[in-house]
Amino acid sequence: MGDVCAVIAAGGTGSRFGNPGGKQLVSVAGKPMMTWSIMAFDRSAYVGHIVVVCPPRRRAEMRTLAIDPFEIHTPISFADSGETRQDSTRAAVEAVPEGFRYVAIHDGARPLITTEAINRAISVLLDTSAAAGVVCGQPAIDTLKIVEGSRICETPPRSMYWAAQTPQIFGIDAIRQAHAQALADGFVGTDDSSLVERMGASVLCVQSPRDNLKVTVPEDLRPVTAILLGRMSDAECAQDTGMFPSLG
């Protein structure tokens, strides 16, 4: 069993997506959106458990629609989501079973994450003893502007900026301490990494595929669906030639 417990954040209300039931169960390329993420972590040898964080009233629905119909071998448990994403991930981190040394927190609305990217990020953390965590992301490719109202105040050097994604992977003690300190201080961060960073701990960026997109609004479904269908088509073509790349 691996040392990493994956957390799938699936507690959103879908306010920006426009679906009162949330977007995690919306069908994407033939599977519920969150199922793609669960399957990617399920294929990782580093991952020994998965915690799905969602509203308690939706547990049965998510298990019935997004977990049970699919061949998933990793044990799955649930944690109750809170009022904010930070509340939800704190609850999930506290629900990680005993014995796991690391936790990988991932948005259920990022169905394009691959097992290869997951394994690469975990291996960087395991090989860097001085780091408390790693964040998947991409170096910024657009020119960035600091703006007040509509007036540009500054154009910072692009080379210093990354677009943060998930998974974000941490030592279990570091992320639990970071959440406890944030709660005590009344601090709300923009992501889990910001909680660890404010304690002075080292967090590294690991480059992940640029197509690790997050579904926020309905228009995001079109490119995500196209990419997933393309991967499935590539796998079918590879099967015809006897080569089997991972869909992970």
Mean pLDDT of 157-173: 95
pLDDT tens digits for range 190-221: 999 999 999 999 999 999 999 999 998 889 99
| The 47-54 sheet, strands edge to edge | 76-80, 47-54, 4-9, 102-107, 162-171, 133-139, 203-207
* Interaxial angle between packed helices 85-94 and 172-185, expressed in degrees from 0 to 180 and rounded to the nearest 10: 140
Best CA proximity match to 142, nearest among 159, 125, 120: 159
Residue 82 corresponds to which tokens in the numbers above?
């809170």
The pLDDT value recorded for residue 234 is 77
Best CA proximity match to 37, nearest among 192, 206, 190, 166: 166
* Interaxial angle between packed helices 33-42 and 115-126, expressed in degrees from 0 to 180 and rounded to the nearest 10: 50
What's the pLDDT band for 242 if we cut at 50, 70, 90?
A: very low
- Kindly tell me if the per-residue pLDDT of 240 is higher than 60: no
Q: Position of tokens 């949330």?
A: 22
The pLDDT value recorded for residue 27 is 92
The pLDDT value recorded for residue 236 is 66
What's the pLDDT band for 11 if we cut at 50, 70, 90?
A: confident
pLDDT tens digits for range 22-77: 688 999 999 999 999 999 999 999 999 999 999 999 999 999 999 999 999 999 99
What is the distance between the alpha carbons of residues 122 and 45, in angstroms, rounded to a whole number?
A: 11
* CB-neighbour burial class of residue 95 (10 A; exposed 0-12, middle 13-18, buried 19+): middle
Mean pLDDT of 161-183: 97
The pLDDT value recorded for residue 14 is 56
Hey, how many other C-beta atoms are within 10 angstroms of the C-beta on 65? 18
What is the distance between the alpha carbons of residues 199 and 182, in angstroms, rounded to a whole number?
A: 9
The pLDDT value recorded for residue 78 is 97
The pLDDT value recorded for residue 235 is 73
- C-alpha torsion sign, points 79, 52, 209, 226: negative
pLDDT tens digits for range 176-193: 999 999 999 999 999 999
Q: Are 137 and 207 in contact (CB under 8 A)?
A: yes
Instruction: Please report the domains of the chain, with CATH numbers, ordered by start residue.
Output: 4-241 (3.90.550.10)
pLDDT tens digits for range 98-130: 999 999 999 999 999 999 999 999 999 999 989
Residue 7 corresponds to which tokens in the numbers above?
């957390």
Return the DSSP state at 191: S
- Kindly tell me if the per-residue pLDDT of 16 is higher than 70: no
What's the pLDDT band for 13 if we cut at 50, 70, 90?
A: low
What is the distance between the alpha carbons of residues 192 and 187, in angstroms, rounded to a whole number?
A: 12
The pLDDT value recorded for residue 202 is 97
For the chain, first and last CA: distance in Å? 19
Q: Position of tokens 């097992």?
A: 115
What is the distance between the alpha carbons of residues 78 and 51, in angstroms, rounded to a whole number?
A: 5
